[in-house]
């Protein structure tokens, strides 16, 4: 890669992080996608990026073999194209001649299937931590169950992303039924507590012995060895998986799965798609629309109940 193109790329990545407020992980991914594109196509300057070069790169991506012996998913291929397109838009904004970003079309991808748990499974999952509490004899295990109950109740009540959950601090104000959270792109939105979530979080705060600023903290055997007790998203994922197993759920259940349950629960009970978009913090309504097909059965029941009853 020429120093000129490298300079353009570096300025673009800095623009993403500083001016667009993208997460560091996102910026790192864009960097990796662009480096792979530049290295494969051997482009030296922005003007060298052509439709033919992009087509050649797409063909190469489509033929890549993954570790499991399959091919690269089209959704994954699109991540590369999105990065290239964003880079080209940045170049145009800076008055640098290159391929028009509109010339790059994303690959058609099948509608994403949501592996949703049933309402009965959700109820069992939410009840699992306190069931573990009742069965425990060790006080540390009991406290961990109280913490995990607060986490699960809060995830389902608010629809928080797991990264948003783990970034919460212990000075959370439970005197109100709502709070502001800072999500993707540094955007702030309001989420709401259910009475169950408020009670669960308050009990957890009352039972805590540490003074760490994080709301949800590590309570493992080695917790005292770390200066920062804040739970990581991976730790929350492991906890959710643990309680799903306890609840006898055979599907893969993740914190994001509870976000799915939050969204579909709202839609199935009559919430409009724009309100759900705001509660989830989606920048684009198209992202929220992946949930609408799960209400098909609900709509079918309404059709059967009310259609053509005047005959």
Enzyme catalytic residues? 161, 184, 256, 259, 282, 291
Q: pLDDT by residue for the chain (311 residues), tens digit each?
A: 455 899 999 999 999 988 888 878 889 999 999 999 999 999 999 999 999 999 999 999 999 888 878 888 888 999 999 999 999 999 999 999 999 999 999 888 766 656 688 899 999 999 999 999 999 999 999 999 999 999 999 999 999 999 999 999 999 999 999 999 988 877 899 999 999 999 999 999 999 989 999 999 998 665 655 567 999 999 999 999 999 999 999 989 999 999 999 998 898 888 888 999 999 999 888 888 877 766 666 666 667 777 767 65
Same domain, 264 and 159: yes
- Does residue 110 sit within a domain? no
Residue 72 domain boundaries: 3-103
- Does residue 114 sit within a domain? no
- Does residue 108 sit within a domain? no
- Does residue 228 sit within a domain? yes
Distance, CA of 259 to CA of 116 (rounded, Å): 10
Same domain, 284 and 209: yes
Pick the last residue of a domain from 74, 103, 132.
Answer: 103
The tally of domains found in the chain comes to 2
Same domain, 23 and 77: yes
- Does residue 256 sit within a domain? yes
Pick the last residue of a domain from 68, 103, 138.
Answer: 103
For the stretch 28-36, contacts whose Cβ atoms lie closer than 8 Å and that sit 24 or more positions apart, written own/partner, are 29/79, 29/83, 30/83, 30/86, 30/87, 33/79, 33/80, 33/83, 33/84, 34/9, 34/83, 34/84, 34/87, 35/1, 35/9, 36/80
3-state secondary structure of 234: helix
Is the pTM higher than 0.85? The answer reads: no
- Does residue 162 sit within a domain? yes
Task: Tell me if 217 sits within 8 A of 102, measured CB to CB.
Answer: no
Same domain, 96 and 124: no
CATH at residue 148: 1.10.443.10
Q: How many CA atoms lie within 13 A of 119 on its CB side?
A: 5
């Amino acid at each position: 890669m020429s120093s000129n193109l490298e300079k353009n790329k570096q300025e673009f990545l800095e623009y993403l992080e500083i001016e667009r407020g993208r997460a560091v992980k996102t910026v790192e991914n864009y960097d990796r996608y662009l480096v792979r594109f530049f290295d494969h196509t051997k482009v030296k300057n922005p003007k060298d990026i052509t439709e033919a070069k992009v087509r050649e790169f797409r063909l190469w991506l489509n033929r890549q073999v993954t570790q499991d012996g399959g091919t690269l998913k089209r959704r994954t291929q699109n991540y590369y194209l999105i990065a290239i397109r964003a880079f080209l838009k940045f170049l145009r904004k800076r008055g640098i001649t290159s391929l028009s970003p509109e010339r790059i079309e994303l690959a058609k991808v099948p509608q994403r299937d949501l592996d949703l748990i049933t309402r009965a499974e959700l109820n069992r999952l939410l009840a699992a931590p306190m069931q573990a509490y009742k069965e425990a004899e060790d006080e540390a295990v009991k406290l961990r169950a109280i913490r995990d109950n607060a986490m699960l109740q809060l995830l389902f009540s608010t629809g928080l992303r797991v990264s948003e959950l783990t970034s919460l601090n212990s000075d959370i104000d439970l005197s109100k039924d709502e709070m502001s959270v800072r999500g993707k792109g540094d955007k702030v939105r309001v989420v709401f507590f259910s009475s169950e979530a408020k009670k669960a979080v308050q009990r957890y705060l009352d039972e805590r012995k540490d003074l760490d600023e994080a709301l949800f903290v590590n309570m493992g055997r080695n917790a005292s060895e770390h200066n920062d007790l804040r739970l990581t998203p991976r730790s929350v994922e492991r906890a959710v998986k643990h309680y799903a197993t306890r609840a006898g759920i055979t599907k893969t259940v993740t914190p994001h799965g509870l976000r799915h349950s939050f969204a579909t629960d709202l839609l199935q009970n009559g919430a409009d798609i724009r309100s759900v978009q705001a509660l989830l913090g989606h920048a684009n309504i198209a992202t929220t629309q992946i949930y609408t097909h799960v209400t098909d059965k609900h709509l079918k029941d309404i059709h059967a109940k009310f259609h053509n009853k005047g005959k």
